[in-house]
Amino acid sequence: MEISTGKKIPCAVFISGRGSNLKSIFNYSKKKSSKIYLKIVISDRHKIKGIRFAKKNKITNKVISFKNKKKAEQQILDFLKKNNIQLICLAGFMRILSKNFIKSFKNKIINIHPSLLPKYKGLNTHERVIKNKEKFSGCTVHFVSEKLDSGKIIMQQKVKILKSDKPKKLEKRVLTVENKLYPKAIKKILSMN
Ligand code: GRF
């Protein structure tokens, strides 16, 4: 990954909701040993928990309307470039970024997905793994490529599915693992230089 290290690198997190992964990335960024600092939070929605968290912790945040996707992405790109952002972490961001956007930040956009990719790309992963009687699920941090949930895998972790599991219950356990995995994956790509 062509990211200059040395000083902490400016990073942006994109969210659309709860923001538990945002919180874990923020806590990691605050550590002395971390290689990132969380400069910007971008969201496509107002009044979400993640934005409240950003405001409370005085992280610069911007809510962008996606009514016009092209315009929205251009606005975000300009803002990120102006702030010298070098790493974008998607954390529950519910919009699919265009090829053009992804190209502008080649190998600098990562995402967390609540399944063991390449299995169960897309939405409603927990419902689907339970319905298919899988023994394990888990989560994956991967680079974002032009194809949905298909970029190079950085790290993944398994979670055992219990007989009594319902989607909500499994989601909760996977999320706890996600929150630990995301900072580890960031650490890993930044030590790849
Ligand atoms: C997580 O399950 C993540 O894997 C998925 O969206 C959810 C976001 O959760 N992409 P949170 O907003 O970080 O709590």
Instruction: Express each pLDDT in 22-39 by its tens digit.
Output: 999 999 999 999 999 999
Counting from 1 in the atom list of ligand 1, the atom nearest the Cα of 21 is 13
Residue range 185-189: mean pLDDT, rounded: 97
Residue 62 near residue 23, CB atoms below 8 Å: no
Is residue 46 part of the annotated active site? The answer reads no
Q: What residue's CA is closest to ligand 1, atom 6?
A: 92
Please report, for residues 28, 114, 120, 132, 138, the alpha-carbon distance to residue 128 in angstroms, rounded to integers and kept in the order given. Answer: 31, 11, 8, 6, 13
The pLDDT assigned to 118 comes to 98
Maximal C-alpha separation, the chain: 50
The pLDDT assigned to 193 comes to 57
The CA distance from 16 to 153, in Å, is 23
3-state DSSP assignment of residue 110: strand
Residue 165 near residue 15, CB atoms below 8 Å: no
Mean pLDDT of the chain: 95
Q: What's the 113 CA to ligand 1 centre distance in angstroms?
A: 7
Residue range 172-181: mean pLDDT, rounded: 98
The pLDDT assigned to 6 comes to 57
71 pLDDT tier (thresholds 50, 70, 90): very high
Q: What tokens does 57 get?
A: 């912790």
Which neighbouring-strand residues pair with 109? 88
Q: What's the 90 CA to ligand 1 centre distance in angstroms?
A: 9
Q: What's the 178 CA to ligand 1 centre distance in angstroms?
A: 8
Please report, for residues 30, 82, 106, 178, 179, the alpha-carbon distance to residue 51 in angstroms, rounded to integers and kept in the order given. Answer: 18, 21, 26, 19, 17
Q: What residue's CA is closest to ligand 1, atom 9?
A: 92
1 pLDDT tier (thresholds 50, 70, 90): low
Counting from 1 in the atom list of ligand 1, the atom nearest the Cα of 111 is 10
Which neighbouring-strand residues pair with 90? 14, 111
